[in-house]
Amino acid sequence: MPTEKKLTGYPSIDKPWNRFYEGVEKRSIFLNSTPYQGLIKNNADYPNEIALEYFGAKVTFGELIRNTDIVAKSLEAYGVKKGDYVTICSTTTPEVIYTFYAISKIGAVANVISPFYTPEELLARIDECGSKLIIMVDKFLPKFKELLFRDADKKIVVLPMMNSSVLRFISPKYIIDGKTNEVAWKTFIKDGACRNDAAVDPYAPQKPQAMVYSSGTTGASKGIVLSVDSFQKLINAYGNSGFDTSRKQKVYQNIPPWHSTGLSLGINFPLSFGVQVCIDPRFDHTAFVKNVLKFKPEYILTNTSMYQGFTFEKSLKLLEGKSLAFLKYPVEGGEPLTEKDIANIEGVFRNHGSKARLLNGYGECECGATVTTDITSQKFSNTASGIPLPDITTVGIFDDDFKELKYGERGNILVKTEIGMIEYFNNSEATAEFFHIDENGDRWSKTGDIGYMNEDGSLVVLGRKSDYSVIDGTQIYNFDIERAILSSEKVKLCEIQTHPEDNNRLVAHIVWENDTGALLRQNPEKQMDYFAEIQKLVEHVIKLPEAVPHSFCIWDSFPSAHSGKRDVPFIKKDVEGIIKI
């Protein structure tokens, strides 16, 4: 039983979450190591176990290590040295994983960029860090060719997306233009073949390992420099949190590598522990459910919206007669879930033989991917996002003057962590603005989120501080209205936005529950009554007339963005579907 201790009322002082980690064996297998060193240390003795599965192809740990060493030689053949930035612009493929570990081996830095930037934005990020070698998947290259091929000093290694898959034989072939600076992946590998093995760069505290990018929701996106400790202390803490990290398990993950969660938890965490990674980069609800049934993973790591797909009618038909008994740890993050969401999703699990709880988490790239996580030994509130990771993270709630608030009081979420970013790349002003230095000299990350702490140490994240509307001069958090509406048994999903043509007018974008939707298809005249019910519910819960939406837009399901999160800009711009009450 956890040890009780007297609380002061201030979470960052009490650290009540520590009592839930008592009795868990503490290991330090990945401390003071690089990702490459950790991979080798824990997997070199298991060369025949499967490490990766990708569109029908299976890669063993022996092959993973050999291919990583080959890529390291090729990187050096193309002039990459310790401290150099190597750009990766690709979805998760086996080659991207080899490259990440090869970069770690030689002491370079992975500059991982989303393909959804404009060509000018992407080139600016490449030039900013002086990257001369760009590894880009062939499906993304046409968009960027014109700008990238102007600089003869850069080498563009063209990676076929299906290079490691059995589908490579039927996939369209990208034709390398010999007159440009592009190089085929096979040529890149061949050019390093005759070199001696690359030396292993030693571990050094806070050595840069990777750079990912902020979403840009509060201005131009910024390069987030993560250290080797951001990766290794994170996975070591997860190993000490009570999760079963034994070998030969599987994780199905589809979070792209340009998110720190994709690199840290989707790739480095499972592979370091000897857990097989099953990859499909598609953010499609039907493909997601089909892959869960195909791979039969103990772990799933994906965005919140993918789990909501389990409750869609099409998915329920796919699951008919199928078992989910294999599922132990479905882990989600990226967007908050209501208690009703969780109950609905876990209800699907129960109906198909799984006892798994939907495990919530919270984090952001600047904080090293994870701030809090659900654990297996304790059931926290469904509204909470778990507790801080052991030994490395402290969370506090503060007012705008950085005075700490007590349990249950909502305010700004601040995080003190050993796995946070080193800096915003070459942006000392933004770096200084992101961190708050307290009177003890401790550095806190300002997450930009609003929430509160429960007395058990669990964190409730309410939403972004910037997620508000101003209606008739009154500021209202959109997430408060959404939570009120989602308390209705008739509503599955909700998104509150202002009207695209009138910022003084709230629109409630809604996905009805399956039963409600079926009823309305038979009796569409009832929809106006349901809108009136929702308006009364919001007025009762929030007690602000300005918070009551007078326009609605009904969706079958919300679209997902390239990140896997809800595509809010697309939802907001729907004018034709808006019904004014």
Q: Looking at the structure, do residues 157 and 75 belong to the same domain, yes or no?
A: yes
CATH classification of the domain holding 240: 3.40.50.12780
Q: Angle CA(303)–CA(506)–CA(447) in degrees, nearest 5?
A: 40
Please check whether residues 241 and 155 belong to one and the same domain.
Answer: no
Same domain, 305 and 379: yes
Distance CA 304, CA 283 (A): 11
Element (H, E) at 455: none
Q: Which of 432, 462, 492 is at the close of a domain? A: 462
Half-sphere exposure of 362 (CA within 13 A, CB side): 28
Do 161 and 73 reside in the same domain of the chain? yes
Contacts of 383 (CB under 8 A, 6+ apart): 338, 339, 460
Residue-number span of the structural domain to which 103 is assigned: 35-203
Note whether 308 and 440 are same-domain residues. Answer: yes
CATH number at residue 554: 3.30.300.30
Tell me the mean pLDDT per 10 residues along the chain, length 581.
70 96 91 98 97 96 98 98 97 97 98 93 94 95 88 92 82 79 95 95 97 70 95 96 94 93 95 97 91 96 87 92 96 74 91 94 92 90 91 97 97 98 96 96 96 96 94 96 94 93 95 92 95 97 96 90 75 89 85
Structure tokens at 488: 């209705």
Q: Taking the model in full, what pTM does it have?
A: 0.89
Same domain, 290 and 432: yes
**Cα(479)–Cα(476) distance, integer angstroms:** 9
Same domain as 497, residue 455: no
Indicate whether 448 and 538 sit together in one domain: no
Give the pLDDT confidence score for residue 172 in this predicted structure.
75
Domains: count for the chain = 3
Q: Calculate the CA dihedral of residues 424, 212, 557, 277 and round it to 10 degrees.
A: -150
Residues in the chain: 581
User: CB within 8 A of 526, min separation 6: which ones?
Assistant: 519, 520
Query: Based on the domain organization, do 500 and 533 belong to the same domain?
Result: yes
Helix (H, G, I), strand (E, B) or coil at 478: helix
Q: Where are the alpha helices (DSSP H) in 87-224?
A: 94-106, 119-128, 141-148, 185-191
User: Which DSSP symbol is given to 267?
Assistant: I
- Structural contact between residues 403 and 270, judged by C-beta atoms closer than 8 angstroms: no
pLDDT at residue 562 in the model: 63
Name residue 27's amino acid.
R
